[in-house]
Amino acid sequence: MAEFVVWAPLKKRVRVLVDNRKHDMVEESGGWWHVDVPDAGPGAAYSFLLDDDETPLPDPRSQWQPTGVHSASRLYDHDAFFWSDHAWTGRQLPGSVLYELHIGTFTEAGTFDSAIEKLDHLVSLGIDLVEVLPVNAVDGDRNWGYDGVGWYAVTENYGGPDGFKRFIDACHTRGLGVVLDVVYNHMGPSGAYLDRFGPYFAGETIWGPTVNLDGAHSEEVRRYIIDNALMWLRDFHLDGLRLDAVHALHDTRARHVLDQLAGEVESLSTHLGRPLSLIAESDLNDAKMVTAREGGGYGLHAQWADDVHHSLHAVLTGEDQGYYADFATAGLTGLAHVLTRVFLHEGTWSSFRGRNHGAPVDTRRIPAHRFVTYLQDHDQVGNRAAGDRHAATLTPGLVACGAALLFCSPFTPMVFMGEEWGARTPWQFFAHFPDDRLNDAVREGRRSEFASHGWDAAEEVPDPTDVQTFLDSKLDWNEAAEEPHSTVLATYRELIALRKARPELSDPWLDEVDVDVDDDARTIVLHRGGLRLAVNLGDDPVTFDLGLPVGRVLLASEPVEVDEEALTVGPESFVIAEIG
């Protein structure tokens, strides 16, 4: 026997169609409908019929959609999967290094099982947490994942729910935690049937329908989100969630949905006896996201810090278009600011937005490990016209300098797949829907967006719906063994190992960090306790007078000269040394 329940508060009649047999459901309190169906077990196909409409609709909380988002749901039994991670005690975010990957392009096969074959590489690199781009059910066979509509189901494109569990289990047996990117701010444009059941939607965004968090009947819509988050963490043994674009969650209620979510995740963490992390992507430059709930914040464990990325990118590449303009103008002085203050815009003028933006961070009370920083991520690569990575335009020396600044910073560092060996393969925007009209809209919308940023859309923007764009975005793992990629990979491994070996480098208190810069010489000295990171981004050798005796060189990207209190560093290179 199986129990079927669905929330449809405004319907007069609801039936469930189970293996082609209809069953009337009974309305209970709160708009929930229920029926027990004998002889229905795991794998049974089912869908719902609303009022007198004979159109079968998939379950809004379906956990298995093996034949697509428009088809019948299937009963899925979480207890049937055998886990081998019983000794897993979790992985905390502070002190960790994250690795962001997209299952479909991480390997040639693009499945959970093929990704398992590469996990030992991540272990040898020194990764602690693997952050996986969205895997929920989506209409079409290739997608970044942000067009998902089956929030409770794992796409069959990568191997379905059992495949995802095998991947997580394999990570845990290797000491790797897993964070899943989830999208709660909008639904995808095809296959979102929730509004047929009830008032789930509150309007439209450029990405698709947004959810009703504060209107009539919003209580169960909020539960739809929170129950989904708890499901991933509990039933899939995940160690954390990355919450996409939380600034797009429109919630005017006294208790914000993020605060509510953080509270319930804390309760689940206590019950499970392992740390669970919530990481927000926020465009607000507001540390309230990561301020403890007892301090009046939302209590999330971390948020992405785009200002650090933007500053690093502008300094390394010289780009100054769009939102990079203020960071390019600020130069190395701006980089010093974000390395000690997190945000460049902290209530100050943003020329890109045409207004003041952000608020200051209380660096004495909020540790820097609550800010995830990166040189590249899926957005900052994939939202470029050609999807080009740093290694496509920067020298290996500058790539290494950027990595040194990232891993010697007090923040939580994240690596984007392939970055560790300076991958030359692009990572482009791709999506494909069965509906050609949607494909046309995606194609034209993407070109229009890029044209507004100054790129020649006709020449530089690949067709996101062309299968070749997807195939071109797959990693070439053969690169890692070739020069200059193998040297870049060795540098990443050494930097991560040094970060883990020296407590000064993971110390999270920003008021203990000092940065000296010379814009003209293009040099940076980062002070981390008794360590100094000296970076020369210029074209000529530079001598750094550190003011204290140099003890020993711990790591250098090129040979250096040591003379008592001075280090002579070659062009486009770095050195990390003990002083005193």
Q: What pLDDT digit, counting tens, does each position of 422-470 carry?
A: 999 999 999 999 999 999 999 988 887 776 666 665 567 899 999 999 9
Which pLDDT value is given to residue 562? 95
Which pLDDT value is given to residue 460? 73
DSSP-derived secondary structure letter, 264? H
Instruction: Let me know: does 225 contact 262? Beta carbons within 8 Å.
Output: no
Which pLDDT value is given to residue 208? 82
Q: Where are the beta strands (DSSP E) in 225-341?
A: 240-243, 277-280, 302-304
CATH code of the region 98-305+331-436+460-501: 3.20.20.80
Tally of helices (H runs) and strands (E runs) in the chain: 16, 31
Residue 473 — left, alpha, or beta (φ > 0 → left; ψ -120 to 50 → alpha)? alpha
Instruction: Let me know: does 529 contact 359? Beta carbons within 8 Å.
Output: no
Under CATH, what is the fold of the domain 509-579?
A: Immunoglobulin-like (2.60.40)
Report the alpha-carbon distance of residue 465 to residue 437 in Å, rounded: 11
Would you state the structure tokens that stand for residue 95, as one six-digit string? 């002190």
Query: What contacts 24+ positions apart, CB below 8 Å, involve 446-453?
Result: 450/385, 453/321, 453/322, 453/385
Cβ neighbour number for residue 347 with a 10 Å cutoff: 11
Report the alpha-carbon distance of residue 6 to residue 62 in Å, rounded: 10
Which pLDDT value is given to residue 461? 85
Would you state the structure tokens that stand for residue 489, as one six-digit string? 């990979």
Under CATH, what is the fold of the domain 2-57?
A: Immunoglobulin-like (2.60.40)
Which pLDDT value is given to residue 450? 73
Which pLDDT value is given to residue 207? 78
- Ranges under pLDDT 50 in the chain: none
DSSP-derived secondary structure letter, 134? P
Which pLDDT value is given to residue 454? 60
Largest CA distance in the chain: 86
How far, in Å, are 254, 284, 287, 307 from residue 358 at the CA level?
22, 6, 9, 11
pTM: 0.97
Instruction: Let me know: does 16 contact 22? Beta carbons within 8 Å.
Output: yes
Residue 35 pairs in a beta bridge with: 4
Report the alpha-carbon distance of residue 225 to residue 235 in Å, rounded: 15
**Identical fold at 98-305+331-436+460-501 and 509-579?**
no
Q: Is the peptide bond before 484 cis (omega within 30 degrees of 0)?
A: yes
Instruction: Let me know: does 326 contact 306? Beta carbons within 8 Å.
Output: no
| Domain chopping of the chain, boundaries | 2-57, 98-305+331-436+460-501, 509-579
Q: Is the dihedral of CA 194, 283, 223, 31 positive or negative?
A: negative
Active-site annotation, residues: 244, 281
How far, in Å, are 88, 284, 331, 530 from residue 557 at the CA level?
37, 36, 23, 20
Report the alpha-carbon distance of residue 73 to residue 75 in Å, rounded: 7
Which pLDDT value is given to residue 324? 96
Q: Is the dihedral of CA 167, 169, 173, 176 positive or negative?
A: positive
Which pLDDT value is given to residue 452? 61
